[in-house]
Amino acid sequence: MKTFFNHLHAQHQGQYEMFRGALVPCHEVPARADHVLAELQRRKLGEVCAPQAFAAGALTAIHSPRYLAFLESAWSEWVALDPANATRDALPSVWPTRSFRTDVLPDNFAARMGLFSFDAGSPLTAGTWVAARTGADCALSAAQAVAGGERAAFALSRPPGHHAGADFFGGYCFLNNAALAAQHLRDKGLERVAVLDVDYHHGNGTQAIFYSRPDVFFASIHGDPRTEYPFFLGHADETGAGAGEGANLNLPLPRGTGYAHWSDALEVALASISRFGAEALVVSLGVDTFAGDPISGFTLQSDDYLRLGERLQQAGLPTVLVFEGGYAVEEVGINAVNVLQAFA
Ligand code: Q9C
Ligand code: ZN
C-alpha cells in the first residue's frame, strides 16, 4: 500500500494547549508522524510518496471560503498585532455561544479566532496553514490513488483532521482530511462512500460535514461524550438529518473498554457500512484507543491493531486510511503500522 507522507508536517508545531487553567505542552507533536514513518520504513511496508498539489476547489468542496481565507492569513495577522507574537502560538480566548451572531465577520483577530474554533487546545502556529494544506493534499492523493484502482492507500500527515468542521478548527485539527478524501471519491464517481472513524474521540467535524447527506455514511466508535472530549456531539441518538437520516451511526463506549467489546462495536459499524452499500471506505485511523495513551480511556493493546487491520481488509472495500490521533508517542508507530501491515 502506498503512503502519501506530508513532508511539511513539522511546520505545524504547537507549544502549548490549555488544560485546567494552565498552558501545558502539546500532545500533538511532530514526533508522532515521524515515528509512524520510521516504523513503515523499518518494516518496508510499501512506497512512500509525496502528495500531488490539488487546486483550491478540492478544499472548498468541504470547507467554507471565509474559513479557508482566515486560516491562510491568520499567522500574518497574528504577528501584525505585535511583532513579539512571532514566538508565541495563537490561541482563541473568546467564542460565540447561544444567542450570539456568527454571520457578521468581526474585524478583530481574536474574535475571528473564536468564531472559527471550539477549544483552546489547538494552537495556530507559523506553519499551521502550510502543514494542514499539504496534509489535505496527502488525503486527496490517497483518495485519488484508490479512485484510480489501488486497493488501499495511507495518508500520513499531521495535524489531524476529524474534529475540524466546514468552518471551524479544534481538537488539534484544522482541515478535515478524511472528509476531503471521502468527497474526492464521490467526485470521482463512487456513488456511496463510508467514513469509519476509529479514533478514541468522536469525529464531530466529519459527522457535521456529512450529517444531512445520504451519499456519505459516517460511523464512529469512541469514548462516550458524556465524559469524553469533544463532549457536545457523538451520542447514539444522532442518526442523520433530512436526506441524511439513517446515514450516521455513533457507537459510544465507556472508559476502560478493551478490544473484546470494542470489536463488537466494530462489527456493528462494518455491518451498517455493508448494508449502506458503500463502494469505498475512508478510515479515520486514530490509535489513541491504545491502553498507554496519555489523554484517552480505552485499553487496546498493540496486537489488537493487527486484528483491526485484518478486519478492515476483510470488509473488502477500496480503502483510504487517514492518520488521526494517537499520543503515546513511543508506540504510535508500532500501533498505526500494525493496522497497515495486517491490511496489506
Ligand atoms: N488534556 C485527536 O485525537 N483535548 N484530537 C484533550 C487533554 C483535546 C484529540 C485534553 C483532545 C483532542 C485528533
Ligand atoms: Zn483522538
DSSP conformation class of 212 = T
Ligand 1 closest atom vs CA 288: 3
Give the pLDDT score at 138: 99
User: 12 an active-site residue?
Assistant: no
Residue with the three cell numbers 456529512: 210
The predicted-structure confidence for 301-325, as pLDDT tens digits, reads as follows 999 999 999 999 999 999 999 999 9
Nearest by Cα to 174 from 231, 235, 127? 127
Tell me if the pTM is above 0.90. Answer: yes
Residues having CB within 6 Å of any atom of ligand 1: 19, 121, 160, 163, 171-173, 199, 201, 229, 286, 288, 295, 324-325
Mean pLDDT over the full length of the chain: 98
The predicted-structure confidence for 32-76, as pLDDT tens digits, reads as follows 999 999 999 999 999 999 999 999 999 999 999 999 999 999 999
132 band by pLDDT with thresholds 50, 70 and 90: very high
Q: Residue 97 contacts by C-beta under 8 Å, 6 or more apart in sequence?
A: none
Give the pLDDT score at 278: 98
In whole angstroms, what is the distance from residue 45 CA to residue 42 CA? 8
Please state, for a pLDDT cut of 70, what percent of the chain lies above it: 100
For a mutational test of ligand 1's pocket, the pick from 12, 118, 119, 201, i.e. the residue with the most ligand atoms closer than 8 A to its C-beta, is: 201
ipTM above 0.90, yes or no: yes
The alpha carbon of 229 and the centre of ligand 1 are apart by a number of angstroms equal to 7
- The whole-number average pLDDT for the span 133-142 is 99
HSE at residue 222, side-chain half, CA atoms within 13 A, is: 32
Structural domains of the chain sorted by starting position, each given as residue range(s) with its CATH number in brackets: 2-343 (3.40.800.20)
The predicted-structure confidence for 201-223, as pLDDT tens digits, reads as follows 999 999 999 999 999 999 999 99
In whole angstroms, what is the distance from residue 304 CA to residue 293 CA? 14
Q: Are 258 and 296 in contact (CB under 8 A)?
A: no
- The whole-number average pLDDT for the span 162-167 is 99
The predicted-structure confidence for 257-284, as pLDDT tens digits, reads as follows 999 999 999 999 999 999 999 999 999 9
In whole angstroms, what is the distance from residue 321 CA to residue 40 CA? 14
Compute the chain's Rg from CA coordinates: 19
Nearest by Cα to 172 from 301, 4, 19, 40? 19
